[in-house]
Amino acid sequence: MDWHKLISGSDIRGVAVGDDAQLTPRAAMCLGMAFAHYLAQRYNKPVHEISVGLGRDSRITGPALLRAAAEGVSKAGASVQDYGMCTTPAMFMATITPGFMPDGAIMVTASHHPWDRNGLKFVTAQGGLYSKDIAALVDAAQELEPDDFPVSGAIVERPFLPTYMEQLADRIRTGLDTDVEKPLLGLHVVVDAGNGAGGFYAKLMEDLGAWIEGSQFLEPDGMFPNHRPNPEDPAAMASISEAVKRVGADLGVIFDADCDRAAVVDSDGRAINRNRLIALMAAILLDEKPGQTIVTDSVTSSGLKKFINDWGGEHYRYKRGYRNVIDEAIRLNAEGVPCPLAIETSGHAALKENHFLDDGMYLVTVLIVKAMKMKQQGETLGSLIADLREPVESTEIRLAITAEDFREAGKAAIAKVMDYANAVSTWHIAPDNREGVRISFDLDGGLDNGWFLLRLSVHDPVLPLNVESDVPGGLKTMLSALRDVLVGCEGIDLTNLNNALAEMEA
């Protein structure tokens, strides 16, 4: 097996079912051993003094992989706290919660990916591991022979979700400035867990007084029979939107399988994800304290930037990748730039008040507090983003790179676009261009009402191209102009771009 195929950014991920499975129980066992030794070295402690927390989402391969990883930790001589069903953010919270506080934790999850995938996420009290750490873990794991070692460290079952639920309940009571038992009386919330690990959130809402009629797919089912556990999936969002409208709820909340991402639906059934979710959180935070900076990834819309500015904030676009966005927000704060939120359009969101942990359930909890306050005033969450200008047209096209050295070929194509933009007055290079090349256009006599972003994928031989227009026909205008520039770029396959233009011209 090529162990490095398991590396997916800062996580381990792979097919976990069938004869072609990459993430096998033996692989998980070796990685558990390697992580225990990594923690011992990191904290300069004997490995028998190391403690590791383990949890999993609802995937069918989760129990076996968790058990194998736990045995690997134990074979290294470290002890195990088995949290059972859990969420990725809760695994981090365990590392800083008195009474638990393992030296590190492993979450068995493949997030929103299909049922036959699984993965491992590694965290410490300082946050998740970086790509270089994962590569070192894999290198160490593939050299291990776990059969040579007995299970020696203690493995103890210690559910953490009840403690995590109480932490979320405390945030709601603090946010509403009350200590009553049921502070959400009168609020109707539909919860969609997508059969992942987050079904307990409906119980939390009910325990706090909310009405949860219409909540769906709360039972863990690792086959995900109803829809993909992904807040970006159109079918998933359509399902919860219909549920909210059917029962007349105040809002709906939906999680991915391990609950580090989320989205909401307003009382009209309108999806609030991607740019809308960023705008909503920005409005809440800037209403409390204007002048703050909101850090996002690079593909956010020009309408979002105007919205944040109108609310008295600064919009700071940065590179794709939730760790990139979070680390940049942390850096800005360290330099004295007040930044309460780092958020990707994918739904990964981290708040300064919550250790800059990308926790979709904590994000939703902040929104629940605001929704309760607004209902008491006869208003709705959706009204906060009524002024958000949204594009008339938008698309993402992925241009395959066929060159052997795909990074150099991709960089050359981006440089060619940059050179062209510098040479003509109608292409405006974005002043906050921090990834690839972002070009804005003045379409149909307007100003800055269309843009595209061409960037190099972090891991794959692909140039993702995001395009938005505030006027009809703008996509065709911009894509045609870009194609003229990219023609002749060695190693860049323009098939998907040509197909998109053909559909627009049909």
Among candidates 190, 124, 180, which has minimal Cα distance to 371?
190
Task: Give the C-alpha separation, 148 to 67, whole Å.
Answer: 18
Identify the burial level of 209 via C-beta atoms within 10 angstroms of its C-beta, where 0-12 means exposed, 13-18 middle and 19 or more buried.
Answer: middle
Q: Which of 51, 58, 79, 111 is catalytic?
A: 111
State how far the Cα of 351 lies from the Cα of 333, in Å rounded to an integer. Answer: 12
CA count, 13 A, side-chain hemisphere, 255: 33
Nearest partner of 107 among 126, 90, 132, judged by Cα: 90
Contact at 8 Å (CB) between 314 and 286? no
Q: For the beta carbon of residue 159, count every other beta carbon within 10 angstroms.
A: 14
252 contacts 380 by C-beta, under 8 angstroms: no
DSSP assignment letter at 148: G
Torsion sign, CA atoms 470, 318, 360, 216:
positive
Q: What is the dihedral of CA 385, 386, 388, 391, to 10 degrees?
A: 130
Structure-token pair, residue 216: 């769906």
Instruction: Please state the separation of Cα 252 from the chain's center in Å.
Output: 19
> How far is residue 401's CA from residue 464's CA, in Å, rounded to a whole number?
10
CA 137 to chain centroid, in Å, comes to 23
440 classed as catalytic: no
* Contact in structure between 117 and 16 (CB atoms under 8 Å): yes
Question: If you write DSSP's letter for every residue of 175-231 in order, what string do you get?
Answer: HTT---S-TTTT-BEEEE-TTSSTTHHHHHHHHTT-B-TT-B--S--BT--SS-S-T
Cα–Cα distance for residue pair 462/70, rounded to 1 Å: 37
CA-angle at 371, arms to 387 and 341, nearest 5°: 70
DSSP 495: H
- Could you tell me the two tokens for 422? 């510098």
Looking at residue 449, its amino acid is N
348: which DSSP letter? Answer: B
Alpha helix locations (H) across 311-455?
322-334, 360-376, 406-423
Angle value at C-alpha 414, between 411 and 416, nearest 5 degrees:
110
Among all residues, which ones are annotated catalytic?
111
